[in-house]
Amino acid sequence: MFSYAVSPFLPTIFSHNTSPSAYPGSRDRGVFPLNLYIGWVSPSADELMHHATRTSIEKIYDHAIALGQTISDAPLYSNYAIFDTALESIYGDNLQRLKLIKQEVDPGNVMGLTGGFKF
């Protein structure tokens, strides 16, 4: 199953708060995240489907750039990012600050036991 959905966030989505936050690294513009969902049943297809997902993302991204979209430095939306996305692509310049905060508030790495992206 292949499903593509654009989340039509308001362009002003980041204007309600001027305090520093983890996401996004810059609040200068809103983005419309694209949720690409690909589902399959057989574990033997994992590698093929991961490749298909990345190829699809790359083609859509390249086409958006060719159409004049200014997304080359846009942060990726963590809820839609593929499992091995680099943290820099999500948190940008905030990443080092977030790592320091994590060391301070979670020295025992309790949050490392949860799912999701790890600092």
Tell me the per-residue pLDDT of 54-106, one tens digit each, with 9 for 90 and over.
999 899 999 999 999 888 888 888 888 888 899 998 888 889 999 999 999 99
- Any domain includes 107: no
Measured over the CA atoms of residue 54, residue 34, residue 62 and residue 24, the dihedral's sign is: negative
Share of the chain above pLDDT 90, in %: 37
Using CA atoms, how far apart are residues 25 and 84, in angstroms rounded to an integer? 19
Residue 61, domain extent: 2-92
Q: Residue 118 — very low, low, confident or very high, per pLDDT cuts 50/70/90?
A: confident
The distance from CA 92 to its chain's CA centroid, rounded to whole angstroms, is 11
Q: Contact at 8 Å (CB) between 90 and 23?
A: yes
Domain count, the chain: 1
